[in-house]
Structure 1
Amino acid sequence: MDHLFFNCIFINGFWKRIFNWWDIGWKRVNNFEDFYSCCFKVKILGSCKSLWLIAIVAAVWSIWLARNEMVFDNKVLMMDTLVFHAKMRALLWSRAAFDECRFHERLWWLCPYKCCLSKSDPGGWCFPPHGWFKFNVSGIVFEGVRGGGGVLRGEDGIVRALFSGPIDASDAGTGSLIIEIGSREVLSWILEKTRRRWSHKVIFAELERRWSRVGKLSFSAAVANGNEMADSLAIAGANRTSMFKAWW
């Protein structure tokens, strides 16, 4: 067991990346006792210490699940995939454990020790009407690289499904949509044509062509940071080579 989790070269590389993710130097250990002693002695304060310990447990569980898939399903284990699954699992577990305390999910993939917020922060995701599901989606384009992410939650706010990965632009097809926009200025351009900039004329003409394909479409202003988890999944998806999907 110690060899599986600590003593092989591949897993040592994995732990180095997980510790570097938290800006902590990795020191090789030989067994679980030394490992957990090392983790508990890390100098992280407050709620971030709890996030750190959740991330460590999620990483251990990710190794175990990956090992089982290799043995029983003949799957090939890639380092980037294992690291992504560990970070994703830790994010979901942290959101479940700290439902009363928000944190900047966009920073989770880069420097999680900086992403904590106080309980009094007013921003965040808004619950859908009774009997509804809410599907938050986000897309990002940076230097030709495109990524997308989405989170489906029920009326209780519990995550039911999510995706993250590279995306290509395509028409949405027909249906009914309520779109929340983070910029009130952009929302005013959409709702009032007289406010639109002349330089954006071609862009809005193309948008209206696509909007006409949707059965029922309405727009509203989004609450600040209300789409943060979808944004973080889109950022992570831009760095992936394949689509990640999960539902339960």
Structure 2
Amino acid sequence: MSVRLPLRPVPTTAHPAVVDRATWQAACDDLLVREKAHTREGDALAAARRRLPMTPVPAQARVQGPDGPVPFVDVFEGRTQLIAYFHMWHDGQPPEGQCEGCTFFTAGIQRPAYLHSRDVTLVVLCQGTFEESRPYADLVGDELPWYSARDAEPLLAGRGFGFFAGYLRLGGDVFETWWGTGRGTEAMSPSYQLLDRTAYGRQETWEDSPAGWPQLFDARSGAQFRVAGRPTIQWTVTDVEAAAGSDEHHAACH
């Protein structure tokens, strides 16, 4: 079933100043200097990541797939590199009670062919059991390889779910090369990069915006990933309203 996402009109009459094109272009040119510096600093950070050391992943690391437990090295699908997103899960909750942030980030890339061309596999490692969580992936149209990493402490290494990590395979040995959480996971979603280039931005309460700009979403509660009580992506696949009490579960994601 395809359901139309509820329209959310911008509740403001505030807008950028209107100027002639020459004035506008001059302002864009000034900003471009800073944008280029930002790009170069991002390049420098990426270069530093490429120079990080790496740490072994214990050979006993296992995850659960459609055919049962498999060694973590099998998740690479024969490729040399792996990016894995560790998806939070709330046992026994219906789809509308699941983690809206993890749903948002893992839904951002569904055609990883370009990653494959660089010998990189992208997968989801879920906190829930495979039997309970895989139907959720099917519901929201997440076509990435999906595994359960429940009880996979050799991979978690004391961390909670809600992060993503990079790995390198040398023969049958696997090494973790980098990981990020919090706002570091924004790299998984091009939607944020696009919103940052709009006049009103992400419309989240923490943003530094001019007076009168819409700031509708409290990022501390996960509200930026929900519309009318359920993860935004679910509006395209189901018309089920959010279950009572689901707020306490999605608040636990943050």
Per the normalisation by structure 1, the TM-score is: 0.28
Greater helix proportion: 1
Q: Which has the higher contact order (CA 8 A, sep 6+)?
A: 2
